[in-house]
Amino acid sequence: MAPIDDAESAFRFVEWFAEYWLSPLEDEDGRTAEEITAAEHRLGLRLPATLTSCYRLPGRRGDLTSRQDRLLRPDQLRLDKNVLVFRVENQHCAVWGVRVSQLAQPDPPVVFRELTRDCRTPWRPFLERLSLAAVEMILSEALLSAEPADDVSDNRELDERALQGVEEHFERLPFPDYPLWADPDGPPVRWFAGADLILRDDARQWLWVRGRTTAQLDTFRAAFPGDWIMQPD
């Protein structure tokens, strides 16, 4: 994975990742210009160029945008006071958005907020560019987009031995640290990769892995034994 320096390189990565790990993006996988325009008219604002690109490229691909958490459709975009919300956690425990004051930027920062009974929960910084948040969404949803019968992804609690092994034997992806929404004051989320494997370390607490084949996943699980959630009996 090459460093993602701007929105153009981010969406090149999205196209490559979709083709190599899942299936190539097709024209019909994106939202239409009419859907984007209708959303802008309804909200009375212009969407950042990067958010528009996210909708126009993989916006209809649920395996890349909405298997776990959900990229809102253009007609579902909403304002939460001074933030445009574009993504929602699957149990509505958190939301992601862009401050209205920064919408004019082509690739603005993204903020997130936990949804609790305390309506005073603050918005917190997530990633410094929306294009990075788009890549994070694609990677995260891909970890969860496989059907159980395919047996190419799994997850378990991250113990000290497994953490050390991941850090020693897998390449840290050139992606910035960012907070885990469920533990925003804890260690950050980090990404790693190996031979046709991608891994996500959630705040030194939980490990997610996806391989391109079942054999690759099985090899990883054998090297890192533990209580894997999806491992067949």
List, for residues 91-104, the tens digit of each pLDDT value. 889 999 999 999 99
Check whether 118 has a pLDDT greater than 70: no
**The residue type at 171:** E
How far apart are the C-alpha atoms of 135 and 14, rounded to whole Å? 7
Under a CB-based contact definition with an 8 Å cutoff, are residues 71 and 85 in contact? no
Q: So what's the pLDDT on residue 117?
A: 62
* Non-local CB neighbours of 126 within 8 Å, separated by 6+ positions: 96, 109, 110, 111, 112, 133, 178, 179
Return the half-sphere exposure (C-beta side, CA atoms, 13 A cut-off) of residue 177: 8
12 neighbors 20 (Cβ within 8 angstroms) = no
Distance CA 57, CA 108 (A): 18
- Whether the predicted pLDDT of 74 surpasses 90: yes
pLDDT tens for 16-70 read 999 998 899 999 999 999 999 999 999 999 999 999 999 999 999 999 999 889 9
